[in-house]
Amino acid sequence: MLREKWALVTGCRRGIGQSVAITLAEYGADLILNDLTISDEDEVAVAVRGLGRKALCLSADIASPESVDAMFAQIKEKAGRLDILVNNAGITMDAMAHKMTFEQWNKVLGVNLTGTFLCCQGAAKMMTENKSGKIINTSSVAGFIGNIGQANYSATKAAVAGLTKTLAKELAGKGVYVNAVAPGFVETPMTEKIPDELKQQMIAKIPGYRQCRHFSRVSVVGLCNRSDNPDQWRNFHGVTSRSKRDG
């Protein structure tokens, strides 16, 4: 389904990113695996190669323009092309807004928003040359309903939705289709750090009132594999992964 396609997944050493990367490999894609630090020995790289696909590991700080430029230079040199970008990398540094430090605010914006933009920019330059490509950004339900203690995180995810809509309009005529998924409260190493009281407040806003254990990877793969017919694309595709009752 995705044979001979190169897919870059950011923030993929663990959690949702790891799951998405492995699923793309299961569908036939070769993977460019990014995280702040990542190596051939990491579980995700081993899993991708175990499926018979290529795994190019590139450590990079996506909040740094220089680091992102260097990463895309390596992609061009070693892979020669980029067909799919999944902007998954994201962090949280929670605090009530009146107690939030500038560092907490700025670091989350740097990774979640600036990092997403920089990777979109780098991917768009390569994809427009080939007049073909898919970009999938990661927003969040938090960007639409807000979360107590997450002014920084919620702001970035709302901004990613707006960024996605804008890039979709800018790039559609160049053969590059930009979309986004908006997961609900998914059980990952990142969400494990959230205090239980705040976690329960977030879960209370989710249909089913339970934390989701498994992100719907098929949603991302479906967007990566969708037809290039513009009539089949929307500027923002709100796929909300939420908990479901057993059975």
Residue 172's Cα: distance from chain center in Å?
A: 20
Task: Evaluate whether residue 123 is within a structural domain.
Answer: yes
Task: Quote the CA–CA distance of 160 and 137 in Å, as a whole number.
Answer: 7
Task: Evaluate whether residue 23 is within a structural domain.
Answer: yes
Task: Evaluate whether residue 247 is within a structural domain.
Answer: no
Task: Quote the CA–CA distance of 47 and 25 in Å, as a whole number.
Answer: 9
The residue written with tokens 């949702």 in the block is 16
Q: Point out the residues that are catalytic.
A: 153
101: domain CATH number is 3.40.50.720
Task: Evaluate whether residue 43 is within a structural domain.
Answer: yes
* Contact of 155 with 110, CB cutoff 8 Å: no
Dihedral sign (CA 208, 86, 222, 180): positive
Task: Evaluate whether residue 32 is within a structural domain.
Answer: yes
Task: Evaluate whether residue 245 is within a structural domain.
Answer: no
Task: Evaluate whether residue 227 is within a structural domain.
Answer: yes
Encoded tokens for 213: 């254990």
Range of the domain at 16: 6-232
Q: How far is CA 121 from CA 46, 54, 68, 232, in A?
A: 29, 24, 10, 23
Task: Evaluate whether residue 1 is within a structural domain.
Answer: no
Task: Quote the CA–CA distance of 15 and 174 in Å, as a whole number.
Answer: 32
pTM exceeds cut of 0.75? yes
pLDDT in tens, the chain (247 residues): 899 999 999 999 998 899 999 999 999 999 999 999 999 999 999 999 999 999 999 999 999 999 999 999 999 999 999 999 999 999 999 999 999 999 999 999 999 999 999 999 999 999 999 999 999 999 998 898 898 999 999 999 999 999 999 999 999 999 999 999 887 655 555 555 556 766 566 556 555 545 444 444 555 666 666 555 554 445 444 444 433 333 3
Number of domains composing the chain: 1
